């Protein structure tokens, strides 16, 4: 069992949540062990949330596009999900939902109606701790996926191969483990499903009803369920999925020996995600020194995490939504069917500047374009929420250890201390002195502008 050290508690919170506050950290430590934290909080079952609004039940219609309602509803849906990430407590559900959204990527530009995307988002939430194989069966006939990868227009006599290809290439078994003929045959087995309103129906007249098919070396009369069952009988499937989970939650370069151990656990538990994540989160591999603070935060981790660590009581969700586009992670709009590539792709000369612009806005109350931002931090109230607030060195070190998970040098710690003191000596520091709030803001800005703040 991994050591229950402060660094390990912060690491597990950083990887399973969208950042954390000082209060979150204290609550996590209160569980007494990493095992209790995982079992009683991080992987604890929680109910599905209420929908963002009544429009989720409205039958999609062209008038919703023409009036602009669909676009406004997409904005509302994105902000609803951002709030979920912000208020998730110590539970990992939303982090897994985002992973699944990228894994089974669908783009809102093609799926014009947010009702469908909402349904898929809730489907991911339903299976976040559930059975991955069953999720693949359900996503195969999910309205969003049928529209996005053209299954909605597929006929058994001339099947569209898009979903069959991505099912094998990106969603389950991976390149090199299937043939082109497997794609063509799988497309036939997947045909016949039609989106009708908010539901899906099976039309035998549009399906492939002829002779048996040969897929992955097996000849039989396949349907969606038996096809997915066959795919999961292949050893490579568990390894492919576990590799993606490792790359997303541990490190972008997978340790193939450990991936095989994960796959063994996955298969032994009939492809249930909860036992797999429990094994991962309580493994020594997850807490190796080389793994700590080795990932570049994705934009959601950066933005929601900044809101959390600053304890912003009423975030400006329009600001978050606008910056998500500029940071190249607009919710419900991954770049393509492969999802967000992540890691080094998150940082460029443009996005790095906008990352700093977002964190600055939480301190200044102004966006990059000069527009006002609601929910600006109260610097003095924030500082005084820490027991060390009147002791300059201890206060700065406590903030550094909360904000920055990558070890920084003594020289950088001294620089941050001097940034806050602004010419005075540590012995004279007090939150009651003139300009104390300005100095605190200057310290927070400097910390969140550091490259190390981009890592978790």
245-269 pLDDT, tens per residue? 999 999 999 999 999 999 999 999 9
Question: Going by DSSP bridges, is the β-strand pair 213-215/199-202 parallel, antiparallel, or unpaired?
Answer: unpaired
b/e burial code for range 126-152 (CB count within 10 A of at least 16 → b): ebbbbbbbbbbbbbbbbbbbbbbbebb
Residue 172 lies in a domain: no
Residue 318 lies in a domain: no
Is-contact 245 99, C-beta < 8 A? Answer: yes
Task: List Cβ neighbours of 26 (8 Å cut-off, separation of 6 or more).
Answer: none
Whether residue 211 has pLDDT greater than 80: no
Report the pLDDT value the prediction gives residue 276, as an integer from 0 to 100: 98
Whether residue 210 has pLDDT greater than 80: no
Residue 443 lies in a domain: yes
157: pLDDT confidence band, cut at 50, 70 and 90? confident
pLDDT in tens, 95-114: 999 999 999 999 999 999 99
Report the pLDDT value the prediction gives residue 368, as an integer from 0 to 100: 80
Residue 385 lies in a domain: yes
- Domain with 434, as residue range(s), is 379-454
Residue 79 lies in a domain: no
pLDDT in tens, 397-412: 999 999 999 999 999 9
Whether residue 209 has pLDDT greater than 80: no
Q: What is the mean pLDDT of residues 274-300?
A: 98
CA distance 232 to 173: 8
User: How many folded domains does the chain comprise?
Assistant: 1
CA distance 6 to 189: 52
Percent of the chain scored above 70 by pLDDT? 100
Residue 218, phi then psi, degrees to nearest 5: -115, 135
Whether residue 6 has pLDDT greater than 90: yes
Residue 387 lies in a domain: yes
Q: What is the mean pLDDT of residues 210-234?
A: 95
| Two structure tokens written together for 330 | 């607009």
List Cα–Cα distances, 65 to 51, 60, 395, in angstroms.
Answer: 20, 9, 52
pLDDT in tens, 342-383: 999 999 999 999 999 999 999 999 988 888 999 899 999 999
Report the pLDDT value the prediction gives residue 315, as an integer from 0 to 100: 97
- DSSP 8-state secondary structure symbol assigned to residue 41: I
List Cα–Cα distances, 316 to 259, 371, 381, 445, in angstroms.
Answer: 40, 12, 19, 18
Whether residue 443 has pLDDT greater than 90: yes
Whether residue 73 has pLDDT greater than 90: yes
Which of 329, 303, 272, 281 minimizes the C-alpha distance to 135? 272
pLDDT in tens, 28-48: 999 999 999 999 999 999 999
pLDDT in tens, 112-143: 999 999 999 999 999 999 999 999 999 999 99
Residue 428 lies in a domain: yes
Task: List Cβ neighbours of 128 (8 Å cut-off, separation of 6 or more).
Answer: 92, 93, 96, 97, 100, 273
Indicate the pTM of the whole model. 0.97
Whether residue 236 has pLDDT greater than 80: yes
Give me the chain's average pLDDT, please.
97
Which of 189, 204, 276, 211 minimizes the C-alpha distance to 239? 276
| Two structure tokens written together for 20 | 């954390």
Residue 404 lies in a domain: yes
DSSP-derived 3-state class of residue 295: coil
Q: Please, what sign has the CA dihedral across residues 339, 342, 348, 353?
A: positive
Whether residue 338 has pLDDT greater than 90: yes
67: pLDDT confidence band, cut at 50, 70 and 90? very high
Whether residue 170 has pLDDT greater than 80: yes
Report the pLDDT value the prediction gives residue 151, as an integer from 0 to 100: 95
Q: How far is CA 280 from the centre of its chain?
A: 17
Consecutive H or E run containing 215: strand 213-215
- DSSP 8-state secondary structure symbol assigned to residue 219: E
């Amino acid at each position: 069992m991994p050591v229950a050290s402060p660094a390990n508690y912060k690491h597990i919170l950083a990887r399973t949540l969208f950042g954390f506050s000082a209060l979150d950290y204290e609550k996590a430590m209160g569980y007494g062990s990493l095992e209790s934290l995982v079992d009683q909080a991080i992987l604890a079952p929680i109910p599905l949330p209420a929908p963002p609004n009544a429009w989720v039940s409205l039958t999609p219609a062209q008038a919703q596009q023409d009036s602009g309602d669909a676009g406004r509803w997409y904005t509302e849906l994105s902000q609803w999900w951002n709030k979920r990430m912000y208020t998730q407590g110590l539970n990992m559900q939303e982090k897994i939902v985002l992973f699944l959204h990228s894994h089974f990527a669908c783009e809102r530009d093609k799926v014009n109606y947010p009702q469908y995307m909402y349904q898929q988002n809730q489907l991911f939430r339903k299976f976040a701790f559930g059975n991955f194989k069953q999720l693949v069966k359900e996503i195969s006939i999910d309205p969003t996926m049928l529209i996005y990868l053209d299954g909605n227009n597929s006929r058994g006599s001339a099947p569209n191969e898009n979903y069959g290809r991505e099912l094998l290439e990106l969603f389950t078994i991976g390149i090199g483990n299937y043939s082109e003929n497997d794609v063509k045959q799988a497309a036939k087995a997947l045909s016949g499903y039609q989106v009708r309103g908010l539901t899906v129906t099976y039309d035998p007249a549009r399906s492939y009803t002829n002779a048996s098919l040969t897929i992955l070396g097996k000849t039989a009369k396949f349907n969606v369920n038996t096809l997915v069952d066959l795919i999961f009988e292949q050893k490579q499937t568990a390894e492919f999925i576990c590799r993606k989970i490792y790359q997303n939650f541990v490190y972008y370069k997978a340790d193939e020996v450990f991936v095989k151990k994960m796959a063994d656990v996955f298969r032994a538990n009939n492809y249930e995600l909860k036992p797999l994540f429990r094994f991962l989160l309580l493994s020594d591999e997850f807490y190796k020194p080389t793994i700590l603070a080795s990932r570049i935060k994705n934009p959601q981790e950066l933005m929601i995490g900044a809101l959390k660590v600053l304890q912003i009581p009423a975030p400006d969700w329009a600001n978050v939504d606008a910056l998500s586009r500029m940071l190249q992670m607009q919710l419900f709009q991954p770049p393509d069917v492969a999802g967000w590539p992540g890691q080094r792709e998150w940082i460029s000369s443009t996005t790095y500047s906008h990352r700093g612009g977002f964190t600055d806005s939480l301190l200044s109350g102004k966006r990059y374009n000069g527009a006002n931002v609601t929910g600006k931090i109260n610097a003095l109230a924030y500082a005084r929420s820490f027991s060390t607030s009147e002791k300059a060195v201890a206060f700065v070190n406590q903030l550094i250890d909360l904000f920055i998970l990558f070890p920084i040098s003594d020289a950088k710690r001294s620089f941050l201390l001097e940034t806050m003191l602004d010419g005075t000596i540590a012995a004279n520091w007090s939150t009651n002195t003139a300009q104390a709030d300005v100095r605190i803001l200057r310290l927070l800005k400097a910390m969140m502008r550091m490259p190390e703040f981009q890592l978790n």
